[in-house]
Amino acid sequence: MQSFQYPLCCAIVKRKITCEKKQHKGVGQKVKKKWVLFASALVVVLGACSNGDAAEEENTENMDNGDTETEAQNEEEDVTEIGESEGDETVIVETSAGNITEEEFVDRLVDLYGEAVLRDMIEDKIMENQAEELGVTEEDIQEEIEDLRETLGAESDEQFLQALQMQGIGNEEDLRSLVQHHLVLQRLTGDEGDIDDAEVRAEYDRGEEVEARHILVDDEETAEEVYERLMDGEDFSELAGEYSTDPGSREDGGSLGFFRRGTMVPPFDAAAFSLDEGEISEPVRSDFGYHIIEVTDRNPFEDSFEEVEDQLRNTIFQRKMANMSKRQQELYDEVNVEIIDERFEDLLDD
């Protein structure tokens, strides 16, 4: 029996996404919060330095004679201190080429990373609301974190933090948020608990190869239209010729022939090997678009169950992850989001 903690580890790996200007699409995409944290930390540190310098100067004034006090006052007249107001703005960095104000700093951060961070914050709000509705508690989150610590083999807090940082998780806040999201998706999809031997055996009985055909389209709306026509009894081959954007299979009724496990991209592979012979899938999203898949035949495994058990567990895992990803996007689509700030009016556009 294999614990279903593995998906959380993989979810952490998937979290490792670099913020790039203007490239993040959709509320559901995950982005690091390091830029917000960096900005906050820098302002705090600079403010602390400014306060510390001021306190030190005050002590010096009390100890020194009047000449020293006059000299310090003259210097203050010539130099703008970090953190001092310059008109209506606060200076946070001073250079001989010109000062940098807090407003300039924040505006630059918003321009470079604002959309990505805002999507992440919207996602957090959605997941926090779902966590409350589903009864995901702090105890649940902490238990998952401790299980993850054990899985990673971390014997100290320092080792645990280092292991997380290698996966792009820089602090406890980000980790707790990720764990919360993971638990919410587990409960929404019902993919909780262990991948047991019976589940793996059933996967083995489905065979090593399937013969399938598919219809590939670019958008979800078209995919739903094609799926509904198939459910109404229309011919798969004819619809493949009419709709499919896959030039390699369109003229052959969408046929892909026989293929082995692991040959196709994970979402397609997971869906195809979960279907019974003659069953048609709902639209499956991949990097290529949306697929409607029908399995037409199967070939059994030539290898023994023991020889392919690990491979089958991974197939089941990929299917669970694809199911979670699909449910996650559905969850985001169900939420009404109104963009108030004109700077982000195109935030949710495709």
SS (H, E, C) 71-93: HHHHHHHHCCCCCCEECCEEEEE
Mean pLDDT for all residues in the chain: 78
Both tokens of 146, joined, read 């401790």
pLDDT of residue 2: 36
- DSSP 3-state of 329: helix
For the ranges 64-73, 239-248, 287-296, the lowest mean pLDDT is seen at 64-73
Question: Where does the pLDDT of residue 87 fall: very low under 50, low under 70, confident under 90, or very high at 90 and above?
Answer: low
- According to DSSP, the residues that pair with 210 across neighbouring strands are 259, 298
pTM exceeds 0.95, yes or no: no
For the ranges 15-29, 50-64, 145-159, 206-220, the lowest mean pLDDT is seen at 15-29
Q: Which domains does the chain have, with CATH numbers?
A: 197-334 (3.10.50.40)
- Give the whole-angstrom CA distance, residue 59 versus residue 30: 48
